[in-house]
Chain A
């Protein structure tokens, strides 16, 4: 009991920077959503139920263009496919006996940032820790959208721009210590950086969109790394 509470609080602590960064990004989302005709309630419901950035911004584009529901489903599938890879990794980080209802709840909170922090945690991923992360991150995302929708001019742009860096700074804070400890991770990160930049600027791949580019880079780089230097340890890789 007390252990669960402690893990939850630790999750909340680690989730706070996620929530702060989310707030800034989703504030911008809220402004954009009402600009194309969504109500504040719809904007709040959209962010609260989707909890994803790139997919939601792309979704606004489909709504604005009056696209079909099938086009919407396909857009979300392509942009959010990376979550499938993340959930695969998280499934291996959970103890095999974690009951299915925990998995259903944890799945809701698989975002780029929550995934990153979850995988960086030592040992097995505990559901209580995941819930702490979600409890800190979700209000930032849903609340930011709502506030952006009803009062887009409360925060000056200089502040929202600075807060948007918080999410990337967190990614850096996850990758660098791991790269310092494991040379293979360092090489994987360097390769991913180079390939990602190349795909972003090459004319025929730039049009793919960021979500798809991330999937391609991950498959190629992590795939090559798994092929070239497979893990030798017998136990779970991150324990």
Chain B
């Protein structure tokens, strides 16, 4: 079992690294195509939102505490606060809400 686990780990690491590496070494020039550039401009926002919702609501024991964490982070972000503060406020809001619920 334990030797096979090392094989699994090697396969996982290789596949995951290859996916990350190929675009970075193959796309070395600036892409001129406007559609493709626009697509890449929108990618992070679509991806990050899709990863956050609805997943963030189910990462805590109660839906409400997840919502509280998102709301706290959202409010501070809207007021232009940095990543560290937003992350801390989100966690703190979850912790407080869970104590209360």
A92 touches B16 (CB 8 A): no
Main secondary structure of the interface of B (DSSP, over half): helix
Are B31 and A92 within 8 A (Cβ)? Answer: yes
B47 adjacent to A90 (CB under 8 Å): no
Specify the chain B residue showing the minimal Cβ separation from A184: B42
Is A165 a contact of B94 with CB atoms below 8 Å?
Answer: yes
Pairwise interchain contact B35-A226, C-beta atoms closer than 8 A? yes
The answer to whether residues A112 and B48 also contact, given A173-B73, A176-B78 and a CB cut-off of 8 A, is yes
Query: In the complex the two chains form, is B43's CB within 8 Å of A86's CB?
Result: yes
* Minimum Cβ distance to chain B for residue A162 (Å): 4
**B7 cross-chain contacts in A, Cβ below 8 A:** 69
**Residues of B within 8 A of A (CB-CB), count:** 78
**Set of chain A residues within 8 Å of B80, measured between Cβ atoms:** 177
CA A51 to CA B95, docked complex, whole Å:
26
Indicate if the CB atoms of A170 and B86 lie closer than 8 Å: yes
Judge whether A26 is part of the interface by a CB distance below 8 angstroms: no
Taking the closest CB of chain B, its distance from the CB of A145, in whole angstroms, is 12
Q: In this assembly, does B63 line the interface, its C-beta being within 8 Å of a C-beta of chain A? A: no
Q: Are A165 and B59 in contact (CB under 8 A)?
A: yes
CB distance from B67 to the nearest CB of A (A): 11
Tell me the smallest distance from the CB of A74 to a CB of chain B, in Å. 9
Of B59, B86, B95, the contact of A172 (CB 8 Å cutoff): B86
B95→A226 contact, CB < 8 A: no
Q: Quick check: is A169 within 8 A (CB to CB) of the other chain?
A: yes
Taken together as a complex, chains A and B put the C-alpha atoms of A222 and B40 apart, in Å, by 8
Complex-state Cα separation, A89 to B53, whole angstroms: 22
Q: Is A76 touching B11 in the complex (CB atoms < 8 A)?
A: yes
* Residues of chain B contacted by A17 (CB below 8 angstroms): 83-84, 86-88
Question: Could you tell me which residues of chain A, from 16 to 68, have a CB within 8 Å of some CB in chain B?
Answer: 16-17, 20-21, 37-39, 42, 45-46, 49-52, 55-56, 59, 62-63
CA distance A94 to B73 in the complex (A): 29
> Which 6 A-B pairs give the minimum distances between C-beta atoms?
A169-B90, A169-B73, A17-B87, A173-B86, A87-B23, A168-B56
Could you tell me which B residues sit within 8 Å of A by CB distance? 1-2, 5-9, 11-13, 15-17, 19-31, 34-56, 59-61, 66, 69-70, 72-74, 76-78, 80-84, 86-95, 98-99
- 22 A-B pairs whose Cβ atoms sit less than 8 Å apart in the complex: A46-B9, A59-B12, A63-B5, A69-B7, A72-B8, A88-B43, A106-B24, A107-B20, A161-B61, A165-B73, A165-B93, A168-B52, A171-B48, A179-B45, A185-B42, A192-B50, A193-B52, A201-B54, A214-B51, A218-B46, A218-B50, A225-B42
